[in-house]
Amino acid sequence: MSASDHLIPVVVSKVVEVNSIIKRFEFKHVDGDELPAFSGGAHIVVEMLDGPTKRKNAYSLMSSPFERGQYAISVRRDDDGRGGSKFMHEKVEAGMKMKISPPVNLFALDLRAKKHLMIAGGIGITPFIAQMTQATELGVPFELHYAARSASQAAYMDSLQDRFGDQVSCYCDDAGGGPDLVGLLSDQPLGTHVYVCGPRGMIEAVVQTATGLGWPAAHIHFEHFLSPPVGQAFSVHLAKAGIDITVGPEQSLLEAIEASGTPVNCLCRGGACGQCETKVVSCEGDIAHNDHWLDDEQRASKQFIMPCVSRFRGERLELDL
């Protein structure tokens, strides 16, 4: 079972070019119905039908969780990626019909927090926009520290400062660099939770700094923005289904399994949630473990794989599916 089994038909109601690399897409229900309520930090999976290829990418909802009339996401164009973001940028126009999954939240605010400290890098800003709206409604203090490469790539920086005032601090690499993490994390009231979403280096820096300063692990929250990497095509045998499938260079193993009609669990499609963990029956070759889920021992054992992001190179890979 997965959220993407029960897709919602939507129409693209608006496409906005935010800057040279980011576009915002807004969706309404095809029938004008209300869309499901959600909580800040939730994502949807967008199904893209690109000729014979079906891609499914996860994007954080940035619209208000209290707005049921429409959803909004922002997509950063990645020319080296599998083509999902390129498809969104080049092919998707207002008026187009698409399908999306119901919202899933793997990056929720901890509602016990006395204060939310949010740290965003680049396109990682999107879940925080919904969370700030939620925190404002709940009356819980928050502050956002938002770092981008340059002012020209810093999506929504101005509008967030207008909306949330001095609760928002902005940083640009070409104008002095990012926040002073040690200073920031050393001086927070008891009961503060920290949330980070952005590039891998930023997540690691925040988690390590907070841990080093004695923050409890339960107060540190992060969301990796991981797209399935591209690679060479490879073949896989699905033992229970008794079939061989081929994974294309720009396709994920998960997408190839789905395309074969074989049932497989999944949620985040980005190597973080653990739902698609699959047993390896036999492996003659090397698995490129690209996930954040398996530990080093599990990886070395070659007995598990996360099909949403991981790939294979070698003679034969057989999965328990």
Contacts with other proteins, residue ranges (CB under 8 A): 1-3, 5-6, 36-39, 42, 65, 101-105, 108, 110-112, 138, 217-218, 265, 267, 273-275
- 94 or 111, CB closer to other proteins? 111
Q: How far is the CB of 214 from other proteins (least distance, A)?
A: 18
Q: How far is the CB of 258 from other proteins (least distance, A)?
A: 16
Q: Name all contacts of 131-134 with Cβ < 8 Å and 24+ positions apart.
A: 131/40, 131/41, 131/195, 132/40, 132/160, 132/164, 132/167, 133/40, 133/64, 133/65, 133/66, 134/39, 134/40, 134/65, 134/109
The CA angle 306-310-311, to the nearest 5 degrees, is: 130
HSE at residue 277, side-chain half, CA atoms within 13 A, is 13
Q: How far is the CB of 5 from other proteins (least distance, A)?
A: 8
- 58 or 317, CB closer to other proteins? 58
- 136 or 169, CB closer to other proteins? 136
- 144 or 220, CB closer to other proteins? 220
Paired with 171 in beta bridges are 147
Integer Cα distance of 140 and 285 in angstroms: 51
Q: How far is the CB of 170 from other proteins (least distance, A)?
A: 28
Question: Strands 278-288 and 311-319, how do they pair?
Answer: antiparallel
Whether the CB-CB separation of 134 and 111 falls below 8 Å is answered with: no
- 108 or 230, CB closer to other proteins? 108
Integer Cα distance of 171 and 151 in angstroms: 9
What the block records as the tokens of 72 is: 């909004």
- 65 or 198, CB closer to other proteins? 65
- 39 or 169, CB closer to other proteins? 39
Q: b/e map of 83-97 (b: 16 or more CB within 10 Å)?
A: bbbbbbbeebeeeee
Q: How far is the CB of 127 from other proteins (least distance, A)?
A: 13
Q: How far is the CB of 312 from other proteins (least distance, A)?
A: 25
- 134 or 290, CB closer to other proteins? 134
What the block records as the tokens of 204 is: 């690691």
Q: How far is the CB of 274 from other proteins (least distance, A)?
A: 8
Integer Cα distance of 177 and 180 in angstroms: 9
Question: Strands 22-29 and 8-17, how do they pair?
Answer: antiparallel
276: left (phi over 0), alpha (psi -120 to 50) or beta: alpha
Integer Cα distance of 235 and 171 in angstroms: 45
- 41 or 228, CB closer to other proteins? 41
How far is the CA of 291 from the CAs of 6, 38, 199, 201, in angstroms?
25, 26, 14, 15
Q: How far is the CB of 193 from other proteins (least distance, A)?
A: 10
Q: How far is the CB of 268 from other proteins (least distance, A)?
A: 10
